[in-house]
Structure 1
C-alpha cells in the first residue's frame, strides 16, 4: 500500500478539520462548475459556482409542493436554511483575513465547542454554548476563537432564536460544505447554558504531544475509535497555525481553504524534517519548506493502526468524505439531548 502512495504526489486538482491544541485554524468537496478559491504557494483547488437552494429540511406537500420545516432553537422559530445562507455569505467577506476565508476558524470553533465532551460524566460538548464565558473562553486551546465568535454575532443578531451551540456547530457544517466538503447532517436543539457549566481546561488535544496514546486518551474519552480519530484529523487540510495563538506557524497544505484528502497525501508522501526556528518543535516539508506538520500529526504516519487509515484516505477521497461526515456529525452531537422528532437537515451548499 505504501508504494502506491508515490503516485499521489501530483498536485491536487480537487478540493475536499480539527485543529489540535491551541493552534490556529482548520477544511471538503463535490462536483460542479469551477470557482477560483484563495491559493497558497502557487497551488489552488477548483470550487463551484454559487446558487442557493434548499437540499433537505423541506417536506413535500401534495404533488410537488414543499414548505420549509421550522424548529425550536434557543427560544423561537428559526429558518435554518436562512441561517446557513447567512453564514455562507460572511465566509469570504474579508479577503485580508488569513487565506481569505473564515471557514477554517469556523470549523475550529465548532470542533473546540464540541470536543470537550466527557462520556463518563456527561459534561462538556456543544450543548450549552459555554465558550462564551470565562474560564473556557480563556483556555489556551481556544486562543483566537474570539474572532469566530465575534464574526458570528452578526448572524446571531439576525436570528436571535438560535442558540449559540446551534449557531457554532451549524457554522462548522457550513464551512466544511462551502469549502468543498461532504454533506454533513445537522440537527438543532442545543440550549444555552451558564458559566457554571464550563468544562475544565485540558480536554482538547495538545499539538506538541508526539505520543500516539495522547489522541487516543482524548478521543476515547468522547467515544471515538482509531478510524474516526484519523478521519477527524484530516480536517488539518484546512487553515494554518499562528504564532500568536498556539506558537506554531504555517499551513498543512497548499490549499488551506479547500477541503480535500490532501492532509494525508502530504503527510505520507513528503519528506518531513525538523524546522530550524526559534518556535516550538514542528516539522517542515524538505521540498519547499512552506508546509508544516505538528508532532501530534506525525503519529498518523508512524503508528500502524492510525497509518492504515491515513493510507486509505490518501488513496480514496470519496471514502474519506464519507467517514469524515459521519465522525464530524457524531462530534457535533456529543452530549446533546435532542427532543424526539427533531428534524435532521442536509443543506445544499450555495456553491453547488
Structure 2
C-alpha cells in the first residue's frame, strides 16, 4: 500500500477512535535564530489502544517530518528547523489546540496530560532525562499504563493529529502548550511559558510508578508534601496548584473516585458522567476553594487531598486567601504552573523559546 494511503487510513482510524476527553487531574525573551538539533524517535500504534513508543536508534534531529509506514506506525525523517520555524509551528499548534477545545471540551484532560508528564520530576537527580519531568516520556506505553495515568491515552489521541501537522514540535512542548492553553481558554490566568523542550527518546527513560499524588493517601497533607516537596514546591504552591481542580470531573471507572454522574455532569458537555469539583467545571476560577469550604453540595466532589487544604494549618492559610481573593489565586497559580511546566526539562536553545511577552 502506498504511504499516502496508509497515512489517510491511520488518520481516519484516529478520528474514529477518539473517546471522551474529560477526566480529572490527580494533583495535581527574545527568540533565538540559531538552528538546533533534538532527539525524537517515536511510533504511534494503531488504536485501540493508542500508545506511542520508540523505534530504532540512532535519534534524529528536532525538526522531523512524520511519514506513515506500512507497519501502521510513524517514522521520523530528519529535516532540521531553526528556532524561528519552530516558533511558527508552536503558534500554529496553539491555534489548533484552541479549536480542539471549542469542539471537544477537553480542557481538563489536556491540563492533566501536561501535569502528569512534568509531575514525575525528582529534584535530587541531576542527570537528564533520568530526573524525569517535562520530557515527553508519558507518550511511552511503559509510563502511560500506570494507574495514575488511566484515561490519558484519550488525550494522546486528541493531540496526535496536531503533532502530525507540526512534526518539528517535541511531545514535551506539545503537552505543556496544550495544558497552558487549556487553562487560559477556560478563563484562567495567562501562563508565562517557554518552549524548546527535548523529548526523552526511550521507554528506558520513564520513571518508576508511584511518583504522582494519590487522592486516598492515609495522611493526605503529609502525602501532598512528600510528592510536591520532591519536585521543589512549597505549601503555597501546593495549594495554588490544587486549585486546578476547578476544572474537570473524576470518573469512578478510571480513578475509583466520584459518582457515575451528577446533576452537573449527566448532560455533558462532552461525554456525560463523572463527578465534578465545581458546578461550572469547564470554567477556571476560585470556585474550587469556595465549594470545598462550604461543604454543602453532595453532588460536588471533595477528595481527602482536597479536604486537607482546609484542615492542615499551613495549607489553610492559602486556601482561605484564595477563597476570598481570586486575583491572588490567579497570580500564584500562574507562577506555580509555569514552574511545574519547566520541571526537569532540557531546553534547546538553553534559554528557551518564548511566544508571548510576559504579562
- What TM-score, normalized to structure 2? 0.70
Contact 1:166–1:189, Cα closer than 8 Å, also in 2: yes
* Partner in structure 2 of residue 258 of structure 1: 283
> Can you give the 5+ residue segments of structure 2 that lack an aligned partner in the other structure?
1-21, 39-61, 64-80, 259-274
Shift of 1:222: 0.5
1:143 aligns with 2:150: yes
Shift of 1:270: 2.3
Contact 1:128–1:197, Cα closer than 8 Å, also in 2: no
Contact 1:24–1:246, Cα closer than 8 Å, also in 2: no
Shift of 1:132: 1.5
* Partner in structure 1 of residue 17 of structure 2: none
Partner SS state of residue 91, structure 1: helix
Task: Map 1:221-260 to 2 at 5 A.
Answer: 221-249=230-258, 250-260=275-285
Contact 1:237–1:260, Cα closer than 8 Å, also in 2: yes
* Partner in structure 1 of residue 73 of structure 2: none
Partner SS state of residue 333, structure 2: helix
Instruction: Please list the CA deviations of residues 210-237 of structure 1 after superposition, one character each: whole Å capped at 9, or x if unmatched.
Output: 5211000000000000000000000000
* Bigger share in helix: 2
Q: What is the RMSD computed on CA atoms of the aligned residues?
A: 2.3
Distance between the aligned counterparts of 2:110 and 2:209, measured in 1? 21
1:269 aligns with 2:278: no
Distance between the aligned counterparts of 1:348 and 1:149, measured in 2? 29
Task: Map 1:272-311 to 2 at 5 A.
Answer: 285=297, 289-311=298-320
Task: Map 1:21-32 to 2 at 5 A.
Answer: 24-26=23-25
Shift of 1:172: 0.2
Partner SS state of residue 245, structure 1: helix
Which of 78, 89, 98 is equivalent to 2:99?
89
Task: Map 1:309-320 to 2 at 5 A.
Answer: 309-320=318-329
Task: Map 1:181-192 to 2 at 5 A.
Answer: 181-192=188-199
**CA separation of 1:125 and 1:316: change in aligned 2, threshold 3 A:** farther
1:195 aligns with 2:203: yes
Distance between the aligned counterparts of 1:184 and 1:157, measured in 2? 25
* Partner in structure 2 of residue 113 of structure 1: 117
1:206 aligns with 2:206: no
1:323 aligns with 2:332: yes
Distance between the aligned counterparts of 2:212 and 2:113, measured in 1? 12
